[in-house]
Chains A and B, each alone.
Chain A
């Protein structure tokens, strides 16, 4: 008593889509004089060749990164949360404003919950995350990172929880122990947690990542600090001079990082400068570097209200810049993997040989 398994509606839709495609092909032929598609070459065009100049038909050797959109988002959240934990702990140890300490802890705690959720979501099936905890492998940056995340999560959430309990039910010895231990752990793990993702992508076969491995962790730490400071400022801490100094430091470093990328001509830096990934990198770089730098300097010479407003704009710019920068590096990794010349050490040709555009054949 089973029903007909062929969904008739879909057949009609498919037929329609194919008919539309025929119209598209005809339009392209009329307008361009030829139709471009994989496996198609106009009459008289040179045959594709495998050679030391064209590689294997220009088919990329390396596989593109397969991470979902959650991973660059995790880089952003983790970077900001790690830096926020460091800011919160140091602020507490130096006797700064307690509201600042509490807010920084909450950013860290929120990040410590969101981060594993993003990682688990990338794996597709939740229980797969358990396999990460089978072993600790110092030679695998991802294994080191997962254990850092777990330590950080435990510390940051314990500190925030104990702090909340203390405020609600008054101080007690167990709460104080938990709060202090959690804070110390979130500081100790937060320091590597805010930047290890730079090592994670740096220690791979993707040229644009591994050629920048010496800069990526510092770049990512500055990006995370900029975002953490920005979040604290949006939570109302727009008068703290310490945050202003940290935000300015991060923005100046990110400006320098942008100058470093733009100022050098190396084919391995191309994905950060050209095409789609190049533009995303630029937008992220400008929002993380020059814009907040200028706004923060302007705010230092402005009246009270105007200064706060300028700092809020700097905060928004830094947060957006940090997020876009993480996406930019992943996007650049894709572009770098698609560059078939790099792993074969074939120099960039001035004129592209007629080998087609190297269609993505399959995963």
Chain B
């Protein structure tokens, strides 16, 4: 029962979408519809209720000359996005039914038989991962292949990845491997390679870390994701003040009015 994680390495991803297909087939996830986005070859846009793995096609202005790049071509990197399985998970904290639980592998799992479709997790996810299935109203996201992990198998996406861009294993081992990989990449001259692993914010680390090139914002990865529970304390304090004002104000209004209340 070790704490497991994904290490998704965009420098190895070839954009084949085998992970998306494997995920859909293993988990029986429905189709996404056909929409032309015009954003490179990404016609899905983001992870959602019917997309638990999502390959991003990051088209950027290239650094001319770097790796044989010509200035008029676009630089192309791919990165397979997934639920981050936060250490402090906004969706899990927000869920009023207890449908969202932490598994023994450290993942965040939505129990579909308990989820009642209140949609509170959707606005509580700082990564915009959890989404509502329009057809049945409940919330869905990556299960971290809890069923496969239970019997000692890799998640479907990691199993299907042909380039080992998606690695699966114990989180500490993967962190060490990520450091090793970054050293290798930098040694080869890929100075902009970086690890996305926000341990510095209230999210407190994630169980799906990413090797990206350059600024993670190009990959729609937020620099400072915060778990929304940090706002609750301030909110309840304001709620107590509001209750005090309402009680005090009403008492004052009726006490100063007593006996003079004509109808």
Interface residues in chain A, defined as those with a beta carbon under 8 Å from any beta carbon in chain B? 38-41, 47-52, 55-57, 59-63, 65-67, 83, 86-87, 90-91, 94-97, 99-100, 122-125, 128-132, 134-135, 137, 139-143, 145-146, 191-192, 194-196, 198-206, 209-210, 213-218, 220-222, 225, 236-237, 239-243, 245-246, 249, 333, 337, 340, 343-346, 356, 359, 361-363
Query: Given A192-B239, A198-B238, is A139 in contact with B93 using a C-beta cutoff of 8 Å?
Result: yes
Interface residues in chain B, defined as those with a beta carbon under 8 Å from any beta carbon in chain A? 32-33, 35-40, 42-46, 48-51, 56, 58-61, 74, 90, 93-99, 114-120, 122-128, 130-134, 136-137, 214-215, 217-220, 222-226, 228-229, 231-232, 234-239, 241-243, 245-247, 249-258, 260-263
Jot down 8 A-B pairs with beta carbons below 8 A, ordered by A. Answer: A94-B255, A132-B118, A203-B232, A205-B125, A218-B241, A240-B261, A241-B256, A343-B128
Q: Which residue of A lies closest to B136 (CB)?
A: A124
Q: State whether B250 touches A87 (Cβ < 8 A).
A: yes
Q: Which residue of A lies closest to B225 (CB)?
A: A343
Q: Which of B50, B130, B219, B253 has a CB less than 8 Å from the CB of A56?
A: B219
**Closest Cβ–Cβ distance, residue A347 to chain B (whole Å):** 12
Report how far A99 CA is from B120 CA in the complex, Å: 40
**Residues from chain B with Cβ under 8 Å of A200 in the complex:** 120
Closest 9 interchain pairs by CB? Answer: A39-B36, A361-B45, A199-B235, A56-B220, A39-B38, A128-B116, A221-B242, A143-B96, A191-B243
Q: Which of B120, B226, B232 has a CB less than 8 Å from the CB of A139?
A: B232
- Chain B interface, DSSP helix/strand/loop, else mixed: loop
Q: Which of A91, A128, A134, A196 has a CB less than 8 Å from the CB of B98?
A: A134
**Residues from chain B with Cβ under 8 Å of A137 in the complex:** 95-96, 98
**Closest Cβ–Cβ distance, residue A230 to chain B (whole Å):** 15
Q: State whether B258 touches A94 (Cβ < 8 A).
A: yes
**Residues from chain A with Cβ under 8 Å of B114 in the complex:** 131, 134
Query: Given A191-B247, A217-B238, is A205 in contact with B261 using a C-beta cutoff of 8 Å?
Result: no
Q: State whether A51 touches B236 (Cβ < 8 A).
A: no
Report how far A218 CA is from B239 CA in the complex, Å: 7
Q: State whether B60 touches A49 (Cβ < 8 A).
A: yes
**Residues from chain A with Cβ under 8 Å of B136 in the complex:** 124
Report how far A192 CA is from B235 CA in the complex, Å: 12
**Closest Cβ–Cβ distance, residue A192 to chain B (whole Å):** 6
Q: State whether B35 touches A38 (Cβ < 8 A).
A: yes
Report how far A206 CA is from B122 CA in the complex, Å: 10
**Residues from chain A with Cβ under 8 Å of B61 in the complex:** 49, 51
Q: State whether B94 touches A199 (Cβ < 8 A).
A: no
Query: Given A59-B45, A191-B247, is A345 in contact with B255 using a C-beta cutoff of 8 Å?
Result: no
Q: State whether A140 touches B130 (Cβ < 8 A).
A: no
**Closest Cβ–Cβ distance, residue A288 to chain B (whole Å):** 15
**Residues from chain A with Cβ under 8 Å of B137 in the complex:** 123-125
Q: State whether B232 touches A363 (Cβ < 8 A).
A: no
**Residues from chain A with Cβ under 8 Å of B45 in the complex:** 59, 361-362
Q: Which of B38, B120, B229, B231 has a CB less than 8 Å from the CB of A48?
A: B38
Q: State whether B119 touches A66 (Cβ < 8 A).
A: yes
**Closest Cβ–Cβ distance, residue B127 to chain A (whole Å):** 7
**Residues from chain A with Cβ under 8 Å of B262 in the complex:** 239
Query: Given A51-B218, A199-B232, is A246 in contact with B249 using a C-beta cutoff of 8 Å?
Result: yes
Report how far A236 CA is from B116 CA in the complex, Å: 42
Q: State whether A213 touches B246 (Cβ < 8 A).
A: no
**Residues from chain B with Cβ under 8 Å of A192 in the complex:** 239, 243
Q: Which residue of B lies closest to A142 (CB)?
A: B96
- Point out which of B37, B93, B123, B228 has the most chain A C-beta atoms below 10 A from its C-beta: B123
Report how far A232 CA is from B258 CA in the complex, Å: 18
**Residues from chain B with Cβ under 8 Å of A139 in the complex:** 93, 229, 232
Report how far A145 CA is from B94 CA in the complex, Å: 12
**Residues from chain A with Cβ under 8 Å of B253 in the complex:** 241-243, 245-246, 249
Q: State whether B124 touches A216 (Cβ < 8 A).
A: no
**Residues from chain A with Cβ under 8 Å of B223 in the complex:** 344-345
**Residues from chain B with Cβ under 8 Å of A86 in the complex:** 246-247, 250
Query: Given A56-B220, A220-B242, is A246 in contact with B250 using a C-beta cutoff of 8 Å?
Result: yes
